[in-house]
Structure 1
């Protein structure tokens, strides 16, 4: 947790053990950090793949800046409107 915070991220520390299946419907996470045995890591990865919504990555090993901080950007594809973004919001 301190490693994530030292890199500028926000961490939620788990207390005790979390069953991988609980990650399928749990709250939204930017990613799940795991360093431990391969079998559990694979179970966590399968559970995260079953989540609805945005992809939640499994981050194996000690966190680094690239994995702790995220950047969001939006791309609007105007190809369908012939390059005119105003037409994308028009009601039909």
Structure 2
């Protein structure tokens, strides 16, 4: 039951961030005549978009490094030893 609650919270946060990022793509020219507080909110949403992209980049870099290390580790253990006779095996 606890895992479902955590999953629901993560889902809600992901949806919320997705909506904030989507709203942040509204052009500045369209928001120029909005009240000051709305323009400030749009500025904050653009900053959040930048942070989300930074975190996404970091996660992708770390994930790819981890997968590369795991692949190298499997290769060192001789996981592809059976296909030595094939042309496409290294």
Q: TM-score, normalised by structure 1?
A: 0.26
**Higher RCO (C-alpha 8 Å, min separation 6):** 1
Would you tell me which structure has more helix in proportion to its own residues? 2
Would you tell me which structure has more strand in proportion to its own residues? 1
Larger Rg: 2
